Amino acid sequence: MNKSKEQDFLIQNIISQIVSYIAEDKNITVEKALQIFFSSELSKKIEDMETGYYLESPSYIYEILKKESYYKLLND
């Protein structure tokens, strides 16, 4: 199944917002926040049309990310 332009837009918007949340919460650069996000399992799921995550709000997805083990390690 090919992603439509609308799906691509939604995914990019979610990623942009989540990266902003990470950078703000952790007081880090956007570049470091991008590394954190794309190191997560969730980043793969957002781009998978079967999960439907691309239809969820960025804040909801960010809450899921914060429960991921890799993200939790950054808080230790």
The answer to whether residues 14 and 37 touch, using CB atoms and an 8 Å cutoff, is no
pTM equals: 0.83
Residues 6+ apart with CB under 8 A from 41: 68, 70
- 54: which DSSP letter? G
Distance between CA atoms of residues 40 and 44, nearest Å: 8
9-55 confidence digits (pLDDT tens): 999 999 999 999 999 999 999 999 999 999 998 999 998 889 999 89
Q: What is the mean pLDDT of residues 45-73?
A: 86
- The letter for the amino acid at 20 is S
More confident residue, 34 or 71: 34
Q: What is the pLDDT of residue 60?
A: 94
pLDDT at position 21: 96
- Maximum CA extent, the chain: 40
Domain parsing of the chain, residue ranges: 5-73
